[in-house]
Amino acid sequence: MITIIEANTPALMKSFVMFPFGLYKNDSNWVPPLIQDELDTFDPKKNPSFSNAEAYFYLAYQDGKIVGRIAAIINWEEVNHQQKSKVRFGWWDVIDDLEVTKALLEKVYALGKKNNLSFVEGPMGFSNLDKVGVVTEGFDRIASMITWYNFPYYKNHLEALGYEKEKEYIESHFSFSNVDIAPYKKAGELIRKRYGYVSKSFQSTREILPYIDEMFALFNESYARLSSFVAINQIQIDYIKEKNIKLINPEYIKFVFDKEGKMVAFGIVMPSFSKALKKAKGRLFPFGFLHLLRAKKHHDEVLFYLIGVDPEHQNKGVTALIFEEYYDSFTKNGVQNCIRTPELEDNLAIQNIWKNFNSEIFRRRRTYTKAL
């Protein structure tokens, strides 16, 4: 018999967070999150995503053991302002038992029907800055700290329950040693002369902070045309500044301004923390933070986390300036491999940016949808 219980106490929420640690303990490609970060993400008092969303967390029990988990989410910004009648599900992990998945998803359906919503989509988080998608191809490579990982049977469960593909995401990588910087330097010189662009790099987090609000305003503007996009608000921006910016090497944040001083492009790259997080085993103390600090300072792999370009400047070659700046930083730090984190397959603007980098797709993931 399968029993579903809402994780509505600190002890149950801890169980919700810890379930994947047991499920994936023998899978070398799963990357554990930081336990406290996960708990904070699910705490309405700490995560500003709850300012325009509501979420409920459920555990599935069978024979006295936890065998699955799921979050049922409504992003009210998406429902009320974008008129998308959608209930989301995320943080879904489960043993290979279709009946467990079915029982968990019934809780998501119940939330959607209670609020007269039309369809369900997932897995996805509160917003576009959360993890997204079920892995459908590429189970032989270690995950990253900003993506979910899952077993191959997850896809089979959803399709057996009548779900259909909604959005496809790709993850790619390219060798930094194969990048020829000469064309980018030449293009950069021409672009600077023609448009008056100025690129800016940083040496400290303190230098970056005054630009973060403007960067996220540009983020909202540059991604607004994507069908899946929900803008982030000022409360969420402030939270990101406090929580995440410190993890990023200052020299891996690049901005480009036009001749009037308006930001027209940005890039955010992160060191790969995957191996460090596996060593930390979900805990910063007593030694986990040392593994993360070492990875921040000494790494040969980086993740392109976010790139944004003002729509009015997307065909002017502005990204050449960003890559020219990154080339110097990567060379200095001994970077060998560059990862492109999940990108919508139909995002032609971002695909065009990478057309000359000889990228290789190594993983695919997707969200699934079903009418209620």
Which band of pLDDT confidence, cut at 50, 70 and 90, is reported for residue 233?
A: confident
Mean pLDDT on 309-324: 88
Of 89, 111, 113, 112, the C-alpha closest to 101 is 89
Domain ranges of the chain: 2-170, 180-356
Mean pLDDT on 326-338: 94
For residue 123, the SS3 value is coil
Q: Are 269 and 252 in contact (CB under 8 A)?
A: yes
Residue-wise pLDDT for 263-276, tens only, equals 999 999 999 999 99
Q: In the prediction, which pLDDT does 320 show?
A: 86
Whether the predicted pLDDT of 361 surpasses 90 = yes
Whether the predicted pLDDT of 173 surpasses 70 = yes
Task: State both tokens at 345.
Answer: 């397959």
Whether the predicted pLDDT of 197 surpasses 80 = yes
Mean pLDDT on 296-302: 94
Of 148, 170, 134, the C-alpha closest to 339 is 170
Q: In the prediction, which pLDDT does 329 show?
A: 92
Spell out the residues 6+ positions from residue 169 whose beta carbon is closer than 8 angstroms to its own. 132, 133, 342, 343, 344, 345, 364, 365, 366
Mean pLDDT on 337-342: 93
- For residue 33, give the DSSP letter: P
Mean pLDDT on 295-312: 92
Q: In the prediction, which pLDDT does 246 show?
A: 73
CATH architecture entry for 180-356 = 3-Layer(aba) Sandwich (3.40)
Q: Which of 63-67, 169-173, 241-245 is predicted least confidently? A: 241-245
Q: Are 125 and 50 in contact (CB under 8 A)?
A: no
Whether the predicted pLDDT of 227 surpasses 70 = no
Domains 2-170 and 180-356 equal at CATH topology level: yes
Which band of pLDDT confidence, cut at 50, 70 and 90, is reported for residue 228?
A: low
> What is the secondary structure of 61-120 as a DSSP string?
EETTEEEEEEEEEEEHHHHHHS---EEEEEEEEE-S-HHHHHHHHHHHHHHHHHTT--EE
Count CB neighbours of 62 within 10 A.
16
- The percent of residues in the chain predicted with pLDDT above 70, rounded, is 99
- For residue 334, give the DSSP letter: T
Of 184 and 32, more confident: 32
Whether the predicted pLDDT of 245 surpasses 90 = no
Whether the predicted pLDDT of 65 surpasses 90 = yes
Task: State both tokens at 340.
Answer: 């492109």
Which band of pLDDT confidence, cut at 50, 70 and 90, is reported for residue 260?
A: very high
Give me the CATH topology for the region 2-170.
Answer: Aminopeptidase (3.40.630)
Residue-wise pLDDT for 87-145, tens only, equals 999 999 999 999 999 999 999 999 999 999 999 999 999 988 899 999 999 999 999 99
